[in-house]
Each structure stands twice: as C-alpha cells, then as structure tokens.
Amino acid sequence: MIVAESTPYAWPYDGRLVPGRTALVVCGAAGEWAHRTSQDRTVEANIEVLRHTSTACGVLVVLVRQAPDPSTSERTAQPSVGLIPEPAEQAVVAIGVDGFYGSPLDAVLHRHGRTHLLFAGRGFETTIHSTLRRANDRGYECLTVADACATVDPRMRDASISTIEMSGGIFGAVASTASVILALRHEPEPEPNEGAP
C-alpha cells in the first residue's frame, strides 16, 4: 500500500505504508503559531478528516503545540484555536518552532514504533517545515499533506512545497488528503490459499 499520487516519488520510498509504523504529526495544534496562521476552513476540515481516518486505521496521531520560550509571553488576546486531543491521540509541547525541540516527540514516536510520518497542521512555512526538516535529519520517512497545511503567509505555499520536493524529495514527498486517505483505507487483497484449485 502506497500513496501513489505523491510527488516527487510514490510514498513511502520502500513501497510499504504500514499504519502501525506511521504517525500523523499535526504541528501548530495550539499556541502562538496556531494564532499566527491564516485560518482556512478547507485545511481545518482536511486536518480533522486525517485525524479521524488515521486513528481508525491504526496510525498514531500526535498533536504538537509549539509554545513560546518561557522567557517570552504568549499572546492571549485572541480566542483559542487549539485542537483538543482525542483519547487515542498523543499531545506534546515543544519550545519554539521545531516540534522536536524541548519536547518528547521523538521519544513518543520511538515508544510507539513509528518510522513513517505524515505532516499536517498550522504554519506550513514555520512549524511544519521546521519539524519536517528535523524529522528528516533523524531518519524518519516523511510525507507532507499539503492541503492539510495552513500557511502563515499564503504567498509562501508554493515555495513551501517546492522546498520539500527539490532534489528528488530532499525532505520527503508531498500529497493530498484524498490520496493519503485512499492509501490508508486500501485493503490488501487476500493471499491465495495454498493448494487451492
């Protein structure tokens, strides 16, 4: 099972999307960067569909709140746009933009045996890109679900996608919500019975 319509290559590179080894990492789930990101109803709907489908298929969902450094004050004037974790989901708090920095994200992924990561959330060119690059450096196989990523500056969307795909997929591959869900829901054909006529 693969995400056949991902670019620049069919994801994952090894040709096996195994839900039990995959995690959906939702960056900017709450906190400063969630407030800064442009609110896009389509993106928010895609994030929700991905969360529910992932959980139903055995993909671990991790919500990452990028909090400010403790020495700074977080904006409180705007109403909360934070995502509330469901019982089956994990929630971690990172200090700053990179979801791995000052957080247990790597430990959570290792504890659950997750090696393949789907990325979505708020802050395409900030929280998502920063966390994606760190994940790539740590050896995770990464797929960014572009239409489930909201930008801080909408003009940065194309550049954010291009940066991932350059050099044959230097930071992984990119796909749509629909193609990821299709791959997750794909039921492999049963093996033929040995000795059957």
pLDDT, tens digit (0-9, with 9 covering 90-100), for 110-159? 999 999 999 999 999 999 999 999 999 999 999 999 999 999 998 999 99
196 found inside a domain: no
Q: How confident is the model at residue 197 (pLDDT cuts 50, 70, 90)?
A: very low
Give the whole-angstrom CA distance, residue 39 versus residue 37. 6
Residue 89 has pLDDT above 80, yes or no: yes
Residue 12 in any domain: the answer is no
pLDDT at 50 over 70: yes
Q: CB count, 10 Å around CB of 99?
A: 30
Supply the CATH number for residue 138's domain.
3.40.50.850
Specify if 37 maps to a domain: yes
* C-alpha closest to that of 18 among 118, 138, 87, 90: 118
Q: Which two tokens stand for residue 22?
A: 């995959």
Amino acid residing at 196:
A
Residue range of the domain that includes 109: 19-70+92-158+174-185
